[in-house]
Amino acid sequence: MKNQEHEEERKRRENHINEQVEAETMAASAATDGVAATALRSVIQRVHQAAERSGRPPDRIRIVAVSKTKPVSVIRQVYEAGHRCFGENYVQEIVEKAAQLPDDIEWHFIGNLQSNKVKPLLAGVPNLAMVESLDDEKIAGRLNRMVETMGKKRLKVLVQVNTSGEESKSGVEPSGCLELVKHVSQNCPNLEFCGLMTIGMPDYTSTPENFKTLAKCRSEVCKALGIPEEQCDLSMGMSGDFELAVRNTLLLA
């Protein structure tokens, strides 16, 4: 009898501990989600302030919330706070997340895109709004053909430019930017060229120069294509340098 009572007491304690751990885990998750929404509001406020200081209209700047490695619960909480535009680096991750989240999210693919990942990306993310990391004619051709084959509407793309000169980074060299843009515009009718993207140095040492280089590339592209610069978006700036990006004619962050 005593052994039975002892066993029941042990189970009650284990259940209590498990419930406490679960409650603490849920509380930690909620706290993380709350931090994400608060961080978003802070970024929006700082973007608006930077735009006003630069004499730029805040409504011309769109924020792409990079959600790579973040759990779906955090993305959903930011979504519920009113944000709709999210960026992901990896095809498998964006496909898995897109299946679990509302279909009015505008997904931006911002990572290195390999040829064998083009079809899974297009098939797995029906609400893919843009590929920001186009840096190769081969990938452009593959995207163009698959969009047509799958009967999808024109896909918006940005050409990624390696403005920092780092070998570890993807992106076409500034000197090759115009050639790739022309290839997309002239040979890829199922792709809609929308602008340029770059990622500055990790330590931000040459960030101003990186952003100015991208702005210069835009000027050259727009002159060659005969389009106003307002029709060529710039995607640049991360958590540590987006205010500087705003001052350098950013349209996407």
The tens digit of pLDDT for each residue in 121-148 reads 999 999 999 999 999 999 999 999 999 9
pLDDT at 28: 37
* Confidence at 13, pLDDT banded by 50, 70, 90: very low
Q: Taking Cα atoms as reference points, which of 93, 118, 94 lies closest to residue 105?
A: 94
Percentage with pLDDT > 90 across the chain: 60
Mean pLDDT of the chain: 85
DSSP β-bridge partners for residue 234: 196
Centre a 10 Å sphere on the Cβ of residue 182 and count the other Cβ atoms it contains.
14
Residues 6+ apart with CB under 8 A from 73: 29, 32, 33
Q: Which CATH class is domain 2-247?
A: alpha beta
Tell me what the mean pLDDT of segment 182-199 comes to: 97
Burial of 15 (0-12, 13-18, 19+ CB in 10 A): exposed
pLDDT confidence tier of residue 36, bands split at 50, 70 and 90: confident
Low-confidence winner among 21-30, 108-117, 162-171, 237-246 (lowest mean pLDDT): 21-30
Task: Please report the pLDDT score of residue 206 as a whole number.
Answer: 65
- Residue from 74, 70, 83, 75 nearest 44 by CA: 83
pLDDT at 24 over 60: no
Residue labelled with tokens 């964006």: 94
Whole-number Å distance between alpha carbons of 193 and 137: 13
116 versus 31: which is more confidently predicted?
Answer: 116
Q: Identify the pLDDT of residue 251.
A: 54
Task: Work out the end-to-end distance of the chain between its first and last CA atoms, rounded to an integer number of angstroms.
Answer: 68
Q: 24: how many CB neighbours lie within 10 A of its CB? A: 10
Helix (H, G, I), strand (E, B) or coil at 236: coil
**DSSP letters spanning 86-104:** EEES-HHHHHHHHHHS-TT
The pLDDT of residue 61: 86
pLDDT at 23: 31
Average pLDDT over residues 64-89: 94
With bands split at pLDDT 50, 70 and 90, how would you rate the model's confidence at 250? low
Residues 194-239 pLDDT 10s? 999 998 777 666 678 888 999 999 999 999 999 999 899 999 888 7
Domain ranges in the chain are 2-247
How far is the CA of 73 from the CAs of 31, 78, 221, 245, in angstroms? Answer: 11, 9, 40, 29
User: How much of the chain exceeds pLDDT 70, in percent?
Assistant: 83
The whole-number average pLDDT for the span 21-49 is 64
In this structure, of 43-52, 92-101, 123-132, 201-210, the range with the lowest mean pLDDT score is: 201-210
What's the pTM value of the predicted model, to 2 decimals?
0.83
The sheet that has 128-134: what strands, in order across it?
65-66, 85-88, 106-109, 128-134, 155-160, 191-197, 233-235
